[in-house]
């Protein structure tokens, strides 16, 4: 496989795959990430997989740049890396005007109606290409071409927790209140972080996410269900 190794300082290695947003290339990134994790290499501090690159941060007292390059090459060469586990998740989104803060702007950019936008957003599952920006923030793609829209010229100072947004050919969810420039078209009541009382994250890279539209009252009941523990998390996974 054709990858390029670069240094990111003296304690991190950058592995660049072909530089484009592509499901297959992203799949290779995640296969390699998983392969490296399974090896539990002493001296590897953390991994940061992205669309078409992977950063390996390491402790140079324990392992060298060259050792990591050769380990990575051997993983890339062998086909016996365990197959990537595909998970499918189903995320309820309320696209009500109350939550769809930028629907008007998206309507004018895409020339679609609000209901066509919702239909296009819920029609096909999206792939989790990477997680970043905020803890648990998933970068999902690719959007169908007709939903493509540019980020807000002036980012909002406050985007509410659970907001579902569009940017370019990507869609994502804000796991917590934050400033941000994505075009907001709805909100999910489902917690992306710490949902089972622990510090777990709902999404993993590689997950396939399908959105479905819910009413305001369903939104409220899911919110309430998570608070009192009656929400059935199985609904998200099947």
Partner 1 sequence: MNLFWKARKMEALIGKTCMSKQVNFQFLKPGFNTLVVDNRTQGYQKFGVPIGGAMDSVAAEKANWLVGNKSEESLLEITLSGPQIIFKEKSQIALTGADISPEINEKKVEMYETIMVSKGELLTFGKILNGCRAYLSVRGQWIDKNGIKEEGSLLNRLNRIKIKPIQPLTSIRKGERPKIKYNPLVVNVLKGPEYDILPPETINTLFLSKFTLLPDSNRMGYRLIPSLSPIKKSIISSGVVPGTLQITEDGFPILLMKDAPVTGGYTRALNVLSKDLSKLGQLKPGDSLRFVLAGTSRID
Considering beta carbons, is residue 194 or 225 the nearer one to partner 1? 194
By CB under 8 A, residue 9 contacts partner 1: yes
Within positions 122 to 141, which residues make up the interface with partner 1, using CB under 8 A? 130-137, 139
Give the torsion sign (CA, 208, 211, 212, 215).
positive
Candidate segments 12-20, 85-93, 105-113, 142-150, binder of partner 1 by CB under 8 A: 12-20
Strand partners, 141: 127
Q: Are 75 and 65 in contact (CB under 8 A)?
A: no
By CB under 8 A, residue 57 contacts partner 1: yes
Candidate segments 11-19, 77-85, 114-122, 211-219, binder of partner 1 by CB under 8 A: 11-19
DSSP state of 202: S
Number of H helices, E strands in the chain: 6, 13
Within positions 171 to 230, which residues make up the interface with partner 1, using CB under 8 A? 175-176, 178, 193-194, 199, 201, 205
Q: How far is the CB of 177 from partner 1 (least distance, A)?
A: 8
User: Tokens 């510090």 correspond to what residue?
Assistant: 199
By CB under 8 A, residue 14 contacts partner 1: yes
d(CA 116, CA 181): 22
Q: Which residues of 202-221 are buried (b: 16+ CB within 10 A; e: fewer)?
A: bbebbbebebebbeeeebee
By CB under 8 A, residue 103 contacts partner 1: no
Q: Are 1 and 28 in contact (CB under 8 A)?
A: yes
Using CB under 8 A as the criterion, which residues of the chain lie in contact with partner 1 when the complex forms? 6-12, 14, 16, 19-21, 33, 45-55, 57, 60, 64-65, 130-137, 139, 175-176, 178, 193-194, 199, 201, 205
């Amino acid at each position: 496989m054709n990858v390029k190794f670069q240094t990111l300082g003296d304690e991190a290695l950058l592995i660049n795959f072909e530089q484009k947003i592509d499901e297959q290339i992203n799949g290779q990134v995640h296969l390699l990430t998983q392969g490296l994790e399974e090896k539990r290499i002493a001296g590897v501090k953390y991994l940061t997989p992205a669309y078409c690159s992977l950063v390996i941060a390491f402790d140079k007292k324990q392992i060298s740049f060259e050792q990591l390059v050769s380990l990575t090459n051997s993983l890339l060469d062998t086909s016996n890396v365990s197959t990537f586990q595909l998970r499918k998740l189903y995320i309820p989104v309320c696209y009500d005007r109350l939550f769809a803060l930028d629907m008007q702007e998206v309507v004018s950019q895409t020339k679609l109606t609000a209901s066509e936008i919702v239909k296009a957003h819920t029609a096909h599952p999206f792939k989790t290409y990477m997680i970043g920006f905020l803890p648990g923030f998933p970068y999902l793609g690719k959007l169908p071409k007709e939903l493509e829209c540019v980020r807000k010229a002036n980012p909002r100072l406050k985007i509410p927790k659970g907001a579902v947004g569009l940017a370019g050919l990507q869609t994502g969810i804000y796991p917590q209140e934050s400033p941000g420039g994505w075009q907001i078209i709805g909100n999910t009541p489902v917690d992306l972080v710490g949902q089972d009382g622990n510090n777990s994250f709902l999404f993993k890279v590689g997950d396939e996410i399908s959105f479905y539209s819910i009413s305001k009252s369903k939104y409220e009941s899911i919110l309430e269900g998570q608070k009192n523990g009656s929400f059935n998390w199985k609904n998200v996974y099947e």
